[in-house]
A and B are shown apart, each in its own frame.
Chain A
Amino acid sequence: MIDTESIPLKTSTGRTLRSEEMVINMGPQHPSTHGVLRLELVVDGEIIVDVVPHIGYLHRCFEKHAEAMTNYQQVIPYCDRMDYIASMNMDWAYALACEKLLSIKIPERVEYIRVIMGELQRIASHLIAIGTYGLDVGAFTPFLFCFRDRERILDLFEITCGARLLYNYIWVGGVSHDLPSGFIDKAKAFCKYFRPTVKELNDLLSYNEIFIKRTANIGILPADVAIAYGCSGPMLRGSGVNFDLRRDDPYSIYDRFTWEVQIGKGLMGTVGDCWDRYMVRVWEMEQSLNIIEQALEQIPEGDVMSAIPKRIRPNPGEVYVRSESPRGEIGFYIISDGSASPYRVKARSPAFVNLSVCPEICKGYMIADIVAIIGSVDIVLGEVDR
């Protein structure tokens, strides 16, 4: 008979459990892991001692597929499917990298269309993040409100390119369709409609006593740890680091608009807690509205297809281009060997890097707080696993 007492129990990282510790698997099928993420929790009673995230359940070989394509444009639908909550920003990031590789100049109108689409997508993505975050910590109504408003943005995308989730809209050198007639008015109407609903959301969720109790002073991420782990986007800004790629490493035409970078200030607890990360997203939606309104006023007329190259054969070379997606720094590292298909495409996805800090910030909290912390990171597993 085997003496089970004498066999040391280990986690998958090789850590030997002490007798009072226990391993609990959270996921891969769990409503608050936002997809198929498995967390191996080492707990002492209710207290988290260690967290080992297991990812890869949704790995679809993006990088292998990209190498197998016969054309650079064919990679874009795969970019869509990486971050399916913010497809526009993914397509845009890939297009930016290819355009730098080809050194092509983009028409003014296309730049404006991309900014409008990218910022609308940012609002849509943040609405999902905020809504599901409320759901995670027990507030159901804001979730419905957020999805109601997101539908209006998806309607705008649908009249533009026919798709509501995976657009394949931003191409290398341009966009697939010009804005339909009436789009500008509809988008303006949306901005007018949406601004008051942010206040509604604040009354309902952000300053709700129970919500603050669940999120303030939980999962505190200090600024130096955030930088060392390569965190970006609302995760980094929530920790009080005033850094946004749209302002600090400008691309496209973001330098033409007036808006402000929002950072966590520790209003309800400590700088870098879950509430700060959440609130940065709420504030960013308002800033995105500012950008959209200015872009809608300034947008010039022009041809959106004129710069799309008929045949893409970049000179041998390599490029790393990054831009600000709703989750943070999305970068594409592309190596060209001079042929029609990329030699190597590496996607630096923000959620993958942001998730890697989780073991660091989960220790010492309760099991129920893990749900709040994971929710505040705003992961999309399609992008984590690629």
Chain B
Amino acid sequence: MSPKEIFDNLKQVFSAEGGSASGGGEAILDGKFEGVLDPYVKISPTKFKEIALYLRDDISLRFDFLMCLSGVDYTKGLLGAVYHLFSMEKHHKITIKVEVPVDKPEIPSMVDVWSSANWHEREAYDLFGINFIGHPDLRRILLPDDWDGYPLRKDFKVPEFYQGMKVPY
């Protein structure tokens, strides 16, 4: 399926009026297919879990392989997570984007949907401070447990000292 067809399919199933998941605002926010290198669909975090399960299990979609999960700091008060999905069976791809405000960075965890999300989400939590709600073991993964702050946020200030060691080089 082409990204446009995938988007139309999602839009049909999850649109606010009618469809199986009515009410609670629009689930599929935006999609871009032309003039970009990687087509993407932007969705709202509230219905993300349902959409992810649909993406994985629907016969015509079968997105069973989570290639990559990246945290992004968009500045202007927005954090985001970008999911690159691939189907081993259909050999098609789609990019899913979720954006959340920086003062309440909460995204539902996708560990039950794609097991590979486990460590990727821990990494995004570690470096961006995105809270993945429902993650079974949300601890820092790359940085020390007592590190302060989230280094890949654009407003991160490198501390002078860590445990008595000078940090800036």
Do A and B make up one complex?
yes
Chain A residues within 8 Å of B, Cβ to Cβ? 12-14, 55-56, 59, 61, 63-64, 67, 100-101, 225, 227-230, 241, 243, 248-249, 317-320, 322, 329, 331, 333, 335, 344, 346, 348, 352-353, 356-357, 360, 385-386
**Complex contact A59–B67 (CB within 8 A):** no
For A227, give its contact among B71, B82, B84, B88 (CB under 8 Å): B88
**Complex contact A56–B141 (CB within 8 A):** yes
Given contacts A318-B37, A348-B67, contact A229 B151 (CB under 8 A): no
Query: Would you list which residues of chain B between 87 and 136 have a CB under 8 Å from chain A?
Result: 88, 91, 95, 114-116, 118-120, 127
* Residues of chain B with a CB closer than 8 A to A333's CB: 68, 70, 82, 84
Q: How far is the CA of A61 from the CA of B143 in the complex (A)?
A: 9
**Complex contact B116–A356 (CB within 8 A):** yes
Q: How far is the CA of A55 from the CA of B65 in the complex (A)?
A: 23
**Complex contact B139–A12 (CB within 8 A):** yes
**Complex contact A100–B37 (CB within 8 A):** yes
List 23 A-B pairs, Cβ < 8 Å.
A12-B139, A13-B137, A13-B139, A14-B137, A55-B142, A56-B140, A59-B142, A64-B151, A227-B65, A228-B64, A228-B114, A230-B116, A317-B36, A319-B37, A320-B67, A333-B68, A344-B72, A344-B73, A352-B119, A353-B119, A356-B115, A356-B119, A360-B115
Q: Closest approach, in angstroms, between the C-beta of A327 and any C-beta of chain B? A: 15
* Residues of chain A with a CB closer than 8 A to B95's CB: 320
Chain B residues within 8 Å of A, Cβ to Cβ? 36-38, 64-68, 70-73, 82, 84, 88, 91, 95, 114-116, 118-120, 127, 137, 139-144, 151-152
Q: How far is the CA of A352 from the CA of B70 in the complex (A)?
A: 14
* Residues of chain A with a CB closer than 8 A to B91's CB: 248-249
By DSSP majority rule, is chain B's interface helix, strand, loop, or mixed?
Answer: loop
Q: Closest approach, in angstroms, between the C-beta of B25 and any C-beta of chain A? A: 26
**Complex contact B68–A320 (CB within 8 A):** yes
* Residues of chain B with a CB closer than 8 A to A229's CB: 115-116
For B38, give its contact among A228, A320, A360 (CB under 8 Å): A320
**Complex contact A241–B88 (CB within 8 A):** yes
Q: Closest approach, in angstroms, between the C-beta of B40 and any C-beta of chain A? A: 8
* Residues of chain B with a CB closer than 8 A to A67's CB: 152
CB-based nearest B residue for A336: B37
A-B CB pair tally, cutoff 8 Å: 86
Q: How far is the CA of A228 from the CA of B117 in the complex (A)?
A: 9
For A230, give its contact among B66, B137, B143, B151 (CB under 8 Å): B66
Q: How far is the CA of A230 from the CA of B119 in the complex (A)?
A: 11
Given contacts A13-B137, A320-B95, A333-B70, contact A63 B88 (CB under 8 A): no
Q: Closest approach, in angstroms, between the C-beta of B128 and any C-beta of chain A? A: 10
Given contacts A55-B142, A228-B64, contact A353 B88 (CB under 8 A): no
CB-based nearest B residue for A61: B151
**Complex contact B152–A64 (CB within 8 A):** yes
* Residues of chain B with a CB closer than 8 A to A360's CB: 115
Q: How far is the CA of A346 from the CA of B38 in the complex (A)?
A: 15
CB-based nearest B residue for A12: B139
**Complex contact B115–A228 (CB within 8 A):** yes
* Residues of chain A with a CB closer than 8 A to B73's CB: 344
Q: Closest approach, in angstroms, between the C-beta of A201 and any C-beta of chain B? A: 31
* Residues of chain A with a CB closer than 8 A to B151's CB: 61, 64
